[in-house]
Amino acid sequence: MDIATRSIEGGFAEPVFNAQTVFRATMDAMARPGSIQALPPLAHPPAPLSATAGAMALALCDNDTPVWLDPRLQAEASVKAWLSFHTGAPSANTPADAHFAIVANPAEMAALDGFSQGTQEYPDRSTTLILLIDDLASGPSLQLEGPGIEKTAMIAPVGMPRHFVEQWKQNNQRFPRGVDIILAAPGSLACLPRTTRIKTMEA
Amino acid sequence: MYVAVKGGEAAIANAHRLLADRRRGDRSVPALRLDQIVEQLALGVDRVMSEGSLYDRELAARGVAQARGDMIEAIFLVRAYRTTLPRFGYTSPVDTGAMQVERRVSATYKDLPGGQVLGPTFDYTHRLLDPELAAGADVDAPAQRPIEAEAMPRVSSILAHEGLIEADGDMPLDHIPGDITREPLEFPMARDIRLQALSRGDEGFLLALGYSTQRGYARNHPFVSEIRIGEVELELDVPELPFAVPLGSIRVTECQMVNQFKGSAKAPPQFTRGYGLVFGQSERKAMAMALCDRALRATELGEDVIAAAQDEEFVISHSDNVQATGFVEHLKLPHYVDFQAELDLVRRMRAEYEAREIEDKAEDKREAAE
Amino acid sequence: MTARETEIATYNFAYLDEQTKRMIRRAILKGIAIPGYQVPFASREMPMPYGWGTGGVQVTASIIGPDDVLKVIDQGADDTTNAVSIRAFFKKVANVAVTTETAKATIIQTRHRIPEHPLNTGQVLVFQVPIPEPLRFLEPRETETRKMHALEEYGLMHVKLYEDIARHGRIATTYAYPVKIEGRYVMDPSPTPKFDNPKMHRSPALQLFGAGREKRIYAVPPFTEVVSLDFEDHPFEVQTFDQPCALCAAENVHLDEVILDDHGGHMFVCSDTDHCEKRRADGHRGSLAPETHLALEKTEPAQ
């Protein structure tokens, strides 16, 4: 298939209801950090963009939200074409301009503080990171605390950014500024809003 | 025994049925047609289009009819419909200098290129109720003259030749015009945003504020440089085409005020501008808007902010009549839970107050006895 | 019907267009990530007036799906006119199931009350908010209050509350009583009576707040610290009622005063109508309850 064809196919079959399903799963995940929300494959973007991350983009991005793609996604012209066709989202020139950043290779990604952190007056003007993760259960365990968590929660995402726990602690310290993370795994997702504290991490 | 009031749904349905009845009124009187409203209540329709931010005479007329002539309710109906419409694009800025003018007056020059054109105005009518109009008498066709080739430049452009008036609009080159219907307001605001808010602002509110500046609450020495009413062309840039696509024309009223300005730390002595532009024909609104625009430029021009009309947050936050009427009228919704909480507090404070009074009196008596 | 009439008659699922929903959804996610912070959003005109729940309606319209069960209350009651009107709106534009039973609802839109029945994980409580800025009555300027929140400068609020104590011997705020969220943002809980403030603290439900006219959305995630502002020597207290509900004999619930005659006769009944009806169905009887109880709660499935 050529790029033009691939960029047109693979959108939501039912745009209104699919977008609601994806948003609701994301909202629940953001409200209950560490909880894993199931999400059937509603979008079929070109690789290496995953079904889950593609669906997030369709549900949340549009002309008003510059999107930044990491080099692995950037390298695939079909991914850019697909996102552009289905969402109309402009591409962000730098991570700091991005409302959303989609990262296919989190282990190699740039530092969290390179993305928009929002301002003290408008902390909402920050980047939301969508990280493509292979699974949420077989990586090093992260014990989580904070709003949305009754006592503690646990997730174990594979292939997180380098020095993630340290970087996340700094992200916590910038509160109310800071980035929020959506972990997009095959068939499921979880969120780490900036309020979530990582208690311990298994070696 | 107590039975709570139930049946809200039926009550609401019946209320609306009664409303429909009252709207229709006496059935022996012919029902109003929308074309009658469009043609014969045209300035009311213009106001609804202007403050409803939707240029569509028929829909505005529909609003007026449905609202039984309540203008703010009609504006609300139009706004609530407008917000559901998809956005196809933004037209190029209209050129009011190229307007097909039906009325054009300037208070600053006796005569000028293009001349003074009175057009369809209430000015100089004697406000005597007209029995012939009530009787539905025939109306003469208007007098017409052939269209003259003479251009009708904007008066502000004439003044600009002498360098005595500030430049017209000086947004930075990379400034993308805002859209108050798509973005939340943020203060302080750029002038483009502010003008949008003023253009859909309540005529009465802006009129009163403009009036207040004339009476000395931030006086800004205005002259009507020009008011022009007529048709302007709309064009849309389509990326695939090498030329702008004409979409048709709309009728607008533009008012340019020039204001004498003695100069400040920020700007030299010169004439400054206040600007008004509204859909349809509404001089009062365009003039009030221009007065308010000039007053709201106080900070930009280095003037002291001393009056309500100069206070951007105050003016813009309260100029939208759909917002204002909603919030004022929401007071008729039930508030009995909050009232109960207040009642409880006042009762307790009152009881304590009375206990103290009795205590004090007893104390006074004891002291008197001693 | 002309083409235009048909066009006007067809609105999207849940009324809002998809672009508006996305914009509101993004604001909701930010609100959840920054608990208590008021996220500006480009509120739309809704087909009901500003001040009548347009913020709550926009939030509900943006989160609701075909599987949801919606409950709408005003003053705690499902049968108050505005609650009836909003419920009818969603039945019409989203064709969702509606209920009066707190426990059966997945989304509860409310004005001025939090239900008495404890909320569960998975439920979403949507508040209609008139003035979202808790500092607004102390400082009318948005430019100033935004700075205060940025700098966490809440001295003005404490001064106000303390002046109350100096003048009246107590904090004379009975509703819209300010709270602090997770030790950071001071937030307006909407004009709920302060009686309901403790229900917000570490609630298992997600609480979303929509202010349409003022164009703000904010949120309190589940299990989040919600502390009513107070002083050590004047701790926060909720209202207490001297008598139980006259219909269901419930205690420790918020009661409405109902006037019975023009000689000062009155009775106190639950403001939460669902709670009251449930208790009466379970056989609880207050001093003025009718002999037999008619079950009034109802759930209507989507068509």
Distances (CA, A) of B328 to B324, B325, B342, C52: 6, 5, 20, 10
pLDDT (0 to 100) of residue C203: 98
Task: Find the helix packing angle between B203-214 and B283-296, rounded to 10°.
Answer: 60
pLDDT (0 to 100) of residue C8: 43
Are residues B238 and B202 part of one domain? Answer: yes
Window B:337-356, CB contacts with C under 8 Å: 337-338, 340-345, 349, 352
pLDDT (0 to 100) of residue C10: 61
Are residues B115 and B157 part of one domain? Answer: yes
| Residue B144 belongs to a domain | no
Are residues B197 and B231 part of one domain? Answer: yes
What token pair was written down for C216?
């703000």
Cα B215 to Cα B197: distance, rounded to the nearest angstrom? 24
Q: Which long-range contacts (CB under 8 A, 24 or more apart) does B175-180 make?
A: B177/B90
What token pair was written down for C297?
């709660």
- Could you report how far apart the first and last alpha carbons of chain C are, in Å? 25
On whether the CB atoms of residues B44 and B70 are closer than 8 A, the answer is no
| Residue B90 belongs to a domain | no
Min distance C17 CA to chain A CA atoms (Å): 9
Tens digit of pLDDT per residue, chain B (370 long)? Answer: 344 445 678 889 999 999 999 999 999 999 999 999 999 999 999 999 999 999 999 999 999 999 999 999 999 999 999 988 877 788 988 999 999 999 999 999 888 888 899 999 999 999 999 888 888 889 999 998 777 667 788 888 887 887 888 887 667 878 888 899 888 888 999 999 999 999 999 999 999 999 999 999 998 889 999 999 999 999 998 877 888 899 999 999 999 999 988 888 877 888 899 999 999 999 999 999 999 999 999 999 999 999 999 999 999 999 999 999 999 999 999 898 888 888 888 888 899 889 989 988 888 888 887 7
Cα C267 to Cα C262: distance, rounded to the nearest angstrom? 13
Q: Is the dihedral of CA B224, B226, B229, B232 positive or negative?
A: negative
Q: Do C34 and A176 touch (CB under 8 A)?
A: yes
Nearest residue on chain B to C45, alpha-carbon basis: B80
Q: Do C45 and B76 touch (CB under 8 A)?
A: yes
Place of tokens 């207050």: C286
Cβ neighbours of B319 in C, within 8 Å: none
Provide the residue range defining the domain that includes B21.
Answer: 11-82
- Percent of chain A having pLDDT more than 90? 93
Cβ neighbours of C238 in B, within 8 Å: none
Nearest to C267 among B2, B83, B328 (CB): B2
Are residues B159 and B110 part of one domain? Answer: yes
* Best of B19, B84, B318 to mutate (most C CBs within 10 Å, chain C): B84
For B37, the 3-state DSSP assignment is helix
Cα C143 to Cα B188: distance, rounded to the nearest angstrom? 8
Average pLDDT, chain A: 95
Q: Render C166-179 in DSSP notation, one character per residue.
A: HHHSS----BS--E
Residue A88 CB partners (closer than 8 Å, separation 6+):
A62, A63
Beta strand A197-201 with A142-145 is antiparallel
Are residues B184 and B37 part of one domain? Answer: no
pLDDT (0 to 100) of residue C293: 53
For the cut 90, the answer to whether the pLDDT of residue C107 exceeds it is yes
Compare A94 and A202 and report the one with higher pLDDT: A94
What token pair was written down for A134?
């292979």
On whether the CB atoms of residues C182 and C225 are closer than 8 A, the answer is yes
Nearest residue on chain C to B87, alpha-carbon basis: C19
Q: Do C49 and B325 touch (CB under 8 A)?
A: yes
pLDDT (0 to 100) of residue C5: 45
For C286, the 3-state DSSP assignment is coil
Rg of the Cα trace of chain C? 20
Place of tokens 């251009």: B151
Three-point CA angle A102, A105, A108, nearest 5°: 115
On whether the CB atoms of residues A18 and A183 are closer than 8 A, the answer is no
What token pair was written down for B11?
């009550």
Nearest to C146 among A16, A60, A121 (CB): A121
Are residues B71 and B101 part of one domain? Answer: no
Are residues B74 and B201 part of one domain? Answer: no
Are residues B302 and B215 part of one domain? Answer: yes
Nearest residue on chain A to C65, alpha-carbon basis: A20
| Residue B107 belongs to a domain | yes
Residue (of B247, B254, B41) closest to B156 by Cα position: B254
| Residue B26 belongs to a domain | yes
B7 at interface of C, judged by CB pairs closer than 8 A = yes
Cross-sheet strand order for the sheet of A153-155 = A153-155, A142-145, A197-201
| Amino acid type, A106 | P
Nearest to B12 among C81, C143, C172 (CB): C81
For the cut 50, the answer to whether the pLDDT of residue C9 exceeds it is no
Average pLDDT, integer, range C258-285: 92
| Residue B260 belongs to a domain | yes
Compare B366 and A187 and report the one with higher pLDDT: A187
Window C:218-237, CB contacts with B under 8 Å: none
| Residue B32 belongs to a domain | yes
Average pLDDT, integer, range C131-138: 94
| Residue B193 belongs to a domain | yes
A148 at interface of C, judged by CB pairs closer than 8 A = yes
| Per-residue pLDDT tens digits for A119-153 | 999 999 999 999 999 999 999 999 999 999 999 99
Model ipTM value: 0.97
A102 at interface of C, judged by CB pairs closer than 8 A = no
Domain covering A3-192: architecture: 3-Layer(aba) Sandwich (3.40)
**Which residues of C are part of the catalytic machinery?**
36, 245, 248, 270, 276
Min distance C176 CA to chain A CA atoms (Å): 22
Domains of chain C, CATH where assigned = 3-228 (3.40.50.11310), 240-293 (no CATH)
Compare B88 and C181 and report the one with higher pLDDT: C181
Phi and psi (nearest 5°) for C141?
-90, 125
Q: How many domains does chain B have?
A: 2
For the cut 90, the answer to whether the pLDDT of residue A22 exceeds it is yes
For C262, the 3-state DSSP assignment is coil
Residue (of C7, C16, C25, C29) closest to C90 by Cα position: C16
Which residues sit opposite C187 in a β-bridge? C179
Compare B136 and C97 and report the one with higher pLDDT: C97
Min distance B167 CA to chain C CA atoms (Å): 29
Are residues B247 and B100 part of one domain? Answer: yes
Beta strand C97-99 with C39-40 is unpaired
